[in-house]
Structure 1
Amino acid sequence: MQHQWDEMHRTRKPTFVLCGEPQGDVLNLYVHGYSAFFNRQQLGNFKQQLAAIEGSTNLMLFWPAGHFLENLFAPFKDVLASLLGGGGLGAATVGVGKAIAYFLDHYKSVEARVDEVAKTLLPELAGYLHDQSLPVRRINLIGHSLGARILVKSLLASPEIARELPLNNLLLMGGAICTSSPWDEVSAPLKGRLINCHSSKDWALAMKPDTERCIGRYAIDVTPALKAKVTNVHLASFDHAAYWPQLKTVVQYTDLLQERRGMIRVDSRSSEVRFAEADVDLYPALMQARPEELKFLAELMAQKRSAAIDASVREPLKLAIELQRMGGDSFMNLARGHGVGYRQIAEDVAQRLGIKFDQPLEHVTLAEIEGQVAETLIEQYKDKLSRADRQAFEAELQAAAQKEQGLFNRLDVGRSATAALSGTALAGLTGFILRRGAATAIPVVGQALAAAMLLVSGVRAFSGPAYSITTLAVLVVGVIRQRMEREALNQELDLVVQVVEAFDLPRDTVMRTVATD
């Protein structure tokens, strides 16, 4: 790794880095974006992460993408120290202006290298595969940010070589390239799909120093001619930095390695499968679930006599389909060919519990609904526990609060910042329920809803949603989603710590700024 780092920075020439041992004849080529690695350790960690993608040979293109710390902080250490330490308005204005100018110049200088890297990428890949004698039957191209732009431009720059290589899927994550690119030409040499992962929460692309409408924030316009080739995947909870840390989830969610065939019993072309995969509020969260959470959900839903799964199921897709079924009326499910979306499930649970919001329910964020459901259930839950269980429950809540506080301990920020994270109640309640197990948890919450269910008469009482199950499912899915957000926040705080330590900035002032941001 030391040699590769030194050689690339000496020659500024892209180099291929094999991540782990070859695994079969499917090759994944990963191309990082702007400002990816600040030091050799970050590059090494990234290499290990790619090596963990099983079922394929993993190769990375390491190219001179620079890092914003090179030109943004180092030349202005004194000015930034003055600004953060309470310096005058004049120094602050000049410092910010210079920092922005340097950032723009640095980004533009890196962006200018894209065409040069793209021009030689496919020819050099073909040469590398020949020289290394790697047996490759299928190649998947995966790019993030400017790395996505490099891959798109490489296909346009070398169409003949692209047709000769066994290119399968092109996965673009947070792509920093215009939506109006010639996608018919880009997708032509692919035997598989062009998959565009985008998110409206990608504010890094929204702040990009030009007016380009990037595919990382918007879907590609799928014309009839592109329908069989281009797939847009909206990852609503992702920001620009979320793709690499959650790469395994993206690979599985988009079925990049085509592993789903034969893995699930339901017809892969059924409306239930398509509906579940399109539920961005549920399926990506289940892909991130921990084993104990999947186990709990399976055991929870398997207790319903009409369940189509048993307690041994762990596949996120099967669990998503079953939860959507249980959230809807069985007769309506039959008529439309699938259950209901997770958002509707959460809203139904909130209404069943009598939760009131200050604005119309459709305008309330999903995280807020999940949090309010947890808070409402806490008192109902505690009232039905034995004294010993109640003490254990209080301990779980306290442990969740301490864990949340622990995120900031190394940053020396106050409790006010921790309170802004919220979710202690959700994490505590869900953690306690997971430890008790589904068989014990259902009667407790079910009793809290029994009176309301008795008011429902006729066919609806037998065919309606299983609220004792969906209520607990909302708690579990909510805590998964919150953990994903906390991990993303933790990565941002890690970067702040690196900046503070690398440039000896005033620690207390920086951390107070982070806490109030």
Structure 2
Amino acid sequence: MAAARVHPLAGAAALAGDRVVHFARIRNRARDMGKVLLAQLDRYLFEHHPDVKQVNLIGHSLGGRLLVSALKDLQQTPEHGLVVGDVLLMAAAVRIDAAEAELLKQRISGRLINAYSTEDHVLLLNLGEKSLGRTPVEHFENVRMQGYRHHHYWQRLQEVLIATRFSGCEGLETGITVLPTMTRDPVLQDVWLHSVLARSPDYVLEAAIKHLRSSRWTRLKATEADRTYAFVREFQL
């Protein structure tokens, strides 16, 4: 009953304040998780996919904060030699200056990319910090995503990957699909999973197939003629 007597503007202010507090709490968790990410990923790949020696990383929002924390903590090569190639930060909810960016660049073997938008108002909740996801910073390859709001990056991932020339998407043009859209085959319509696997080294696909075939629910057979098609098929509903 007491809540019913609260002025609507006061209620909205309380809700906004609660979201800001929640955002601050989660950003601390992202920082802490980043400190152990690469060591755990290095160990997992060594045990389950030993042929994978390099990874490219994409982080969105607080995921960008997590990756920045991970790279800051990467003061030496992980135990099993995992190399970080390209790093793409989309709408990154983290403050970083040019000196810090230069340090991060030295810790990867590929490109350090900042996909940002000045129209991302969600990042204004990141109180006390000027978020990377709203501004260019020296030592990044800064790509402005015109008109993008915070939720657009995953929805329009193909555009982002092409605009930033992310690994595997070099030379492609925005507005041109990788595979024909007229096909009704759900496997071929799963454009990004199918096309990325088709361009991946054979050992990556074989390791993924080996891991998937250990699951009870899979229909994947060792005799499949089109390995890429068969793998993607298993993830269709």
Secondary structure of the 1:167 match is strand
Contact 1:197 1:233 (8 Å CA) reproduced:
yes
The offset of 1:93, in angstroms, is 4.0
Distance of aligned partners of 1:250 and 1:97 in 2 relative to their CA distance in 1, 3 Å threshold: closer
Distance of aligned partners of 1:115 and 1:109 in 2 relative to their CA distance in 1, 3 Å threshold: same
The one-letter amino acid paired with 2:167 is L
Q: 2:12 maps to which residue?
A: 96
* CA displacement, residues 181-233 of structure 1 (integer Å, 9 cap, x when unaligned): 6011111121110011011111111x224132221111112xxxx4xxx3111
Secondary structure of the 1:136 match is coil
Distance of aligned partners of 1:253 and 1:209 in 2 relative to their CA distance in 1, 3 Å threshold: closer
Q: Who wins on radius of gyration, i.e. which is larger?
A: 1
Q: 2:73 maps to which residue?
A: 157
Q: 2:118 maps to which residue?
A: 200
Secondary structure of the 2:152 match is coil
Picking from 84, 90, 109, the partner of 1:191 is: 109
Q: 1:233 maps to which residue?
A: 143
Secondary structure of the 2:128 match is coil
Q: 1:170 maps to which residue?
A: 87
Paired residues in the alignment total 180
The one-letter amino acid paired with 1:237 is G
Contact 2:42 2:78 (8 Å CA) reproduced:
no
Higher relative contact order, structure no. (Cα contacts within 8 Å, ≥ 6 residues apart): 2
The one-letter amino acid paired with 2:55 is I
Q: 2:226 maps to which residue?
A: none
The whole-number CA distance in structure 1 between the counterparts of 2:76 and 2:153 is 30
Q: 1:110 maps to which residue?
A: 26
The offset of 1:255, in angstroms, is 2.3
The whole-number CA distance in structure 2 between the counterparts of 1:248 and 1:193 is 18
Distance of aligned partners of 1:209 and 1:126 in 2 relative to their CA distance in 1, 3 Å threshold: closer
The offset of 1:236, in angstroms, is 0.5
TM-score by length of 2: 0.66
* CA displacement, residues 163-183 of structure 1 (integer Å, 9 cap, x when unaligned): 932211010000111141601
The one-letter amino acid paired with 1:172 is L
Distance of aligned partners of 1:240 and 1:149 in 2 relative to their CA distance in 1, 3 Å threshold: same
1:367-382 equivalences in 2 (<5 Å): none
Q: 1:216 maps to which residue?
A: 133
Distance of aligned partners of 1:130 and 1:291 in 2 relative to their CA distance in 1, 3 Å threshold: closer
The whole-number CA distance in structure 2 between the counterparts of 1:92 and 1:106 is 21
The offset of 1:135, in angstroms, is 2.0
Contact 1:115 1:150 (8 Å CA) reproduced:
yes
Q: 2:204 maps to which residue?
A: none
Unaligned runs of 5+ in 1: 1-75, 83-87, 265-282, 293-517
Q: 2:37 maps to which residue?
A: 121
The offset of 1:95, in angstroms, is 2.3
The one-letter amino acid paired with 2:57 is L
Secondary structure of the 2:134 match is coil
Contact 1:155 1:162 (8 Å CA) reproduced:
no
Contact 1:122 1:161 (8 Å CA) reproduced:
no
The offset of 1:288, in angstroms, is 6.9
Contact 1:196 1:233 (8 Å CA) reproduced:
yes
Secondary structure of the 2:125 match is coil
The one-letter amino acid paired with 2:151 is A
1:66-85 equivalences in 2 (<5 Å): 79=3, 82=4
* CA displacement, residues 3-61 of structure 1 (integer Å, 9 cap, x when unaligned): xxxxxxxxxxxxxxxxxxxxxxxxxxxxxxxxxxxxxxxxxxxxxxxxxxxxxxxxxxx
Distance of aligned partners of 1:249 and 1:217 in 2 relative to their CA distance in 1, 3 Å threshold: same
Contact 1:253 1:287 (8 Å CA) reproduced:
no
The whole-number CA distance in structure 2 between the counterparts of 1:120 and 1:132 is 18
Secondary structure of the 2:155 match is coil
Contact 1:120 1:154 (8 Å CA) reproduced:
yes
The whole-number CA distance in structure 2 between the counterparts of 1:256 and 1:289 is 14
The whole-number CA distance in structure 1 between the counterparts of 2:63 and 2:126 is 17
The whole-number CA distance in structure 1 between the counterparts of 2:26 and 2:156 is 25
Aligned identity (percent) is 26
